[in-house]
Amino acid sequence: MLVTGKELLQDAHKNNYAVGAFNVNNMEIVQAIIEAAEETNSPVILQASQGGLKYAGIEYIAELGKLAANKAKVPVVLHLDHGTDFDQVMLCIRHGFTSVMIDGSKHELKENINITKKIIEVAHAVGVSVEAELGKIGGTEDNITVDERDATFTDPEEAKLFVEETDVDSLAIAVGTAHGVYKGEPKIDFDRIRTIKGLLNMPLVLHGSSGVPADSIERAVAAGINKINIDTDLRIAFTQAIKDFNKKNPDNIDPRKLLGPAKEAMKEVIKEKMNLFGSAGRA
């Protein structure tokens, strides 16, 4: 069933677990995520970045997402990941997304507050949940790159002010993770997560979570993270399975034989994440 982000994340917040938010770009990825969620009895968030929407077309992603959610035995959110402007967010709301992210993190605090408030006024009026971001998460997501030197951790007091001013439903915080493949092991500031959780008492979001060791994920969830974004780990599983298949079957010309194992490989990774995040069994 299709549900709002707020509904899903409030339960995660109350019961101290995290819901996985996995990036979708095509039908096989949507199916891998939904099958994993059903097999683990887990609530789940299907999210599309602006790059993903450009690649597949918003109509395809929206209809695939809604179809999958309506057929699913578990609660599913259809979410816009890293929306950067008002028009993009409105387009997603018009296409039936039940949750949107407005990422104003590259702006100064006041400007980020203003952009977020404007989105919330419209989104909340039509029952759509909103995620915002404060602080700068390093790495590359689609065509947005934040250099390591420019990455800044979220300030807890600023976060409190941000939430009071905007009434946002969930907040993405910068605490040491980065988008894409890590060069070394990420150093996560767990105390900062705990401090922000204590001040805000609301669902918190961890971006750039691929490649983060399992024990760090567990500690982040225990500290107060309720939504965990995963993209890169899924890309790796999918493309590696395709490479392996092609190596073993160089004469294959059937896309179904190629994409079937890729979907299965991705599904296994997603199931592992759902067990790790504590969302398994929570649907």
The least CB distance from residue 231 to Zn ion, in Å, is: 7
Region 10-39 residues binding ligand G3H, contact defined as CB under 6 A = 23
User: How far, in Å, CA of 8 to CA of 155, rounded?
Assistant: 26
| Interface with ligand G3H, residue 231, by CB under 6 A | yes
Alpha-carbon torsion (164, 176, 132, 134), positive or negative: positive
| Interface with ligand G3H, residue 170, by CB under 6 A | no
Residues 6+ apart with CB under 8 A from 150: 136, 138
Which CB sits closer to Zn ion, 206 or 283? 206
CA angle 105, 110, 112 (to 5 degrees): 30
The first and second tokens of residue 116, run together, are 């977020």
Residue among 66, 79, 179, 227 that touches ligand G3H (CB under 6 A): 179
User: How far, in Å, CA of 252 to CA of 158, rounded?
Assistant: 56
227, 206 Cβ separation under 8 angstroms: yes
Which CB sits closer to ligand G3H, 35 or 81? 81
Tell me the H-state helices in 105-213: 109-125, 156-166, 190-200
Contacts with ligand G3H by CB under 6 A: the residue count is 15
| Interface with ligand G3H, residue 227, by CB under 6 A | no
| Interface with ligand G3H, residue 166, by CB under 6 A | no
| Interface with ligand G3H, residue 82, by CB under 6 A | yes
| Interface with Zn ion, residue 66, by CB under 5 A | no
The least CB distance from residue 82 to Zn ion, in Å, is: 6
Residues making contact with ligand G3H (CB under 6 A) = 23, 81-82, 141, 179-180, 207-210, 229-233
